[in-house]
Amino acid sequence: MRAIKIDVVKRQVYEVDVKPGIEEIYKQLECDCFDTVPITPRKEILYVDDNGLLIDKKLGAFSIGTYPYILSGHGLILGLSGPDSVATKLSLGVVRSLVKWRDVSELPEPKIEVLPLLKRKIK
């Protein structure tokens, strides 16, 4: 299926053909744990290395659209159909216009925040 890869080593955005399943996402991202960033409401998703900030040897970094954080490591965009990944419908030109290459020196220090759960009354 059609996906768009954001390659931080080559600093290029290009189409890739991926097989269904999470193994292919791991392979494209070159990582062992990923997270998601919504690109469009419930239609397109960006997969990123969840530990990108924690890895000593950082591959590179980018920001995308109005997402407020700098991301470390490759990105992979796929579409969504319910809970399943499907071919992306975004054009390569649109994604290229949204990606801004960043220097790894701009990455924030990793941190972990523990947030309290909101107390709600159960009726």
Encoded amino acid at 55, one letter: I
Number of domains in the chain: 1
The pLDDT value given to residue 110: 72
The pLDDT value given to residue 109: 76
The pLDDT value given to residue 115: 73
Let me know if residue 52 belongs to a domain: yes
The pLDDT value given to residue 119: 64
Q: Which positions of the chain have pLDDT values less than 50?
A: none
18 Cβ contact partners less than 8 Å away, ≥ 6 residues apart: 1, 3, 24, 25, 28, 76, 78
pTM of the model: 0.83
Let me know if residue 71 belongs to a domain: yes
Let me know if residue 58 belongs to a domain: yes
Judge residue 58's burial from the number of C-beta atoms within 10 Å of its C-beta, 0-12 exposed, 13-18 middle, 19 or more buried. middle
Let me know if residue 10 belongs to a domain: yes
Range of the domain at 101: 2-106
Let me know if residue 50 belongs to a domain: yes
The pLDDT value given to residue 25: 94
Let me know if residue 120 belongs to a domain: no
